[in-house]
A = this chain, B = another copy of it.
Amino acid sequence: MASAEGLHAARSRGRNTRQLVHEVLRSRIVGLELEPGSAVSENDLAAELGVSRTPVRESLILLADEGLVDIYPQMGTFVSRIRERDVASAQFIREALECAALREAVGKAGARDVAELRVLLTAQEEADRQADMEGFFQLDEEFHARLMAVSGHASAWPVVSQAKAQLDRARRLSLPMTQQMSLLIGQHREVVDLLEAGDLDRADEALRSHLRLVFSDVEKIRSKHPELFSDEDAPLRPRRDSPRRTAARGDR
């Protein structure tokens, strides 16, 4: 997945190196491939990805803006630990925007919109049957994005997506309980049903409780994996214990 070589292969397709590096790193962080608290050095990443430090550095700056990494000048850059405050903020933003969009979507939604959403629901059930967690995550993202698009506010999705990233890092750990998947899908279906029926208030409520469930998951995770979270106000101890990088030298 997104190895060093694959990066250059896709490079010709419009996007430049910075954007590719940004996507790779973002995906690794949100997918927990890079754990909260771990160091991400410009030099190491540049060497691993086979590019210079410049695009890596520019990507890290963007990721810092998104709150996914913390840059400590002259000390290092670290994947940000999950902060209570950021998670709560992300939840608030997501809930406000998605619910506001849904309220506008009710009444606007055509038969085609509903049909497209139902296609995604079916695909989600298939992913559930196959226990394809990664696939479900993508379909979930697409579902929520599409839901916002119905209201005509697709352009606000990136903001939601950014907030969502903070939540998803933690969720990644919780979803293994496969029972959750069918529950979430059921909630998705309920939202679509109520949207189709034009029941504004109940649709809003259904989506809101769906999002809250996701949020409460994060809290559960916290007790299980406290090392991924930041104990607030004690961030000035990034720890540079980075073990010597043994491999990754012969390539290129």
Q: Which residues of A contact B (CB under 8 A)?
A: 16, 18, 57-58, 61-62, 65, 73, 85-86, 88-89, 92-93, 95-97, 99-101, 153, 155-156, 159, 163
Contact = CB atoms under 8 A, between A and B. Distances in A.
A48 to B, nearest CB: 22
A101 B88 CA distance: 13
Contact of A86 (B18, B99, B155): B155
The 9 closest A-B pairs by CB, nearest first: A96-B100, A89-B155, A96-B96, A92-B153, A89-B156, A96-B97, A93-B156, A92-B156, A85-B155
B89 A153 contact: yes
Contacts of A85: 155
A62 B96 CA distance: 25
Which of A85, A86, A88, A89 has the largest count of B CB atoms less than 10 A from its CB? Answer: A89
A39 to B, nearest CB: 20
A93 B73 CA distance: 33
Contacts of A95: 100
7 contacts: A58-B58, A61-B61, A89-B156, A92-B97, A93-B156, A97-B97, A159-B163
A81 to B, nearest CB: 16
Contact of A73 (B16, B65, B88, B153): B16
A12 to B, nearest CB: 13
Contacts of A100: 92, 95-96, 100
Contacts of A57: 58
Contacts of A155: 85-86, 88-89
Contacts of A159: 93, 159, 163
A150 to B, nearest CB: 13
Contacts of A61: 18, 58, 61-62
Which of A73, A85, A159 has the largest count of B CB atoms less than 10 A from its CB? Answer: A159
